[in-house]
Structure 1
C-alpha cells in the first residue's frame, strides 16, 4: 500500500464522521430549520473540524440561506464542499526559504505534540514539490524516536542523519548540516526531543543546537516550528 493509499485509509474515520453523517442529516429533514443547523454544527465539531472552522462554515451556511444559495437540505452538501475547498486553498506557504544552500527547519515542542509525525508530512510535502529533503534525528533522548523518524524517512524516500540513542543532539545537527551542504539538498528538517521551557538544561541544549546550525549555515535555522 502506497503512502497516499495509507493516508486515504487513515482518513476513513473522518469521512465516516463527516460526510456520512451530513448525508444522514440531509435525508432526515424536508426543510432547513434551526434543528437541522444545530445538528449540522454538532456533526462538524464531533468530526474534529474544529470550533473556529465550524463557526466559519456555519456563518457561511446561514449567509447562503439568506442569499437563496441554499434552498433545500440537498443544497447543503455541495455548498459545504465549496466552502471547505475555499478554506483549504486560501492558505499559503510562508516558510522563509534560504537564498542559497539548504533551508533549515528546526522542529521543537513538548512531549507528544506530534513533532516527528509532522516532519514526515513535511518531508512528503516538500518532496512532492520536487525539492530534495534530508531529515535529522536530533531527538536522541526518547526511546525509539530515531526509529520512528527512520520509518518516516523510508515512507517518503528521504534519507535520515542519525547517531546512537543518548548521543549529543547538537552533534547530530552538526553532521546533518554538513551533509545537507555537501549533498546540496533543498530542505533540512531537524527533529528534537520534547521539552518544556521551564527545564533550563534542556533549553540550553536547544540553544546549543541553534548555535551549531547558525555557525555552519549563516541565518539558519531559517524557520523554527513550534
Structure 2
C-alpha cells in the first residue's frame, strides 16, 4: 500500500473520533517523512482536520431560553433530553426548566467544596465532589431516590460566573433497565445510561448563562 493511499485512508476516521492536537501532530510528523509525491494527500488531510477542529458544533443553538426579569439573567436549556430512556422530570417532581439561583459576590479564592462520598439530605443519599469541566470548576452534589422502578437523581452544581456564586439544580429520571427484560431494549437502556454524562449537560447550560441589561 502506498503512502499516498495511507493518507487517504485517514479521512473516514474523522467521522468517529474527536479531533485533537494529537491527530494533527501525527500527520505533521508523517508529512516530514514522506517523499514529495505522498505529501499532497497528507496536506489535504491536515487541512480538513484543522477545519473540523475549528468548527465546533454549538449544541445549544436550538435550546429554549429562560429569562428572569427580576434578577436580570438568562440561560438556555434543552426542551427535553435527546434520549430514549433518561428523561427530565417536569411533572410529578417539577425541575424543568432547571432552577438557577444567584448568590453573593465571589472570587475563585472564595470557592470551597467539601467533598463527601456519603452525602445525605432530604432528597436522599449521594455524594458531593469537586469537578473540572472545560476549565470550569464545579462543586457537584447528587442525591437519589427511587419510586416505581425508576431512580430519580437530584443534581446541584455550584460555581462562580460573572463574579457571583451560581447554583444550577435539576432532576433526571433513570429507569431500571432490567425491567425491559433480556432483549435489545435492555442493552440499549444500559448503554445509554453508561454513556450519558450529566456533567456535560450542566456545563453546557451554565455556559449559556449571562446577565442581561436593564
Q: TM-score, normalising length from structure 1?
A: 0.29
Q: Considering fraction of residues, name the structure with more strand.
A: 2
TM-score by length of 2: 0.31
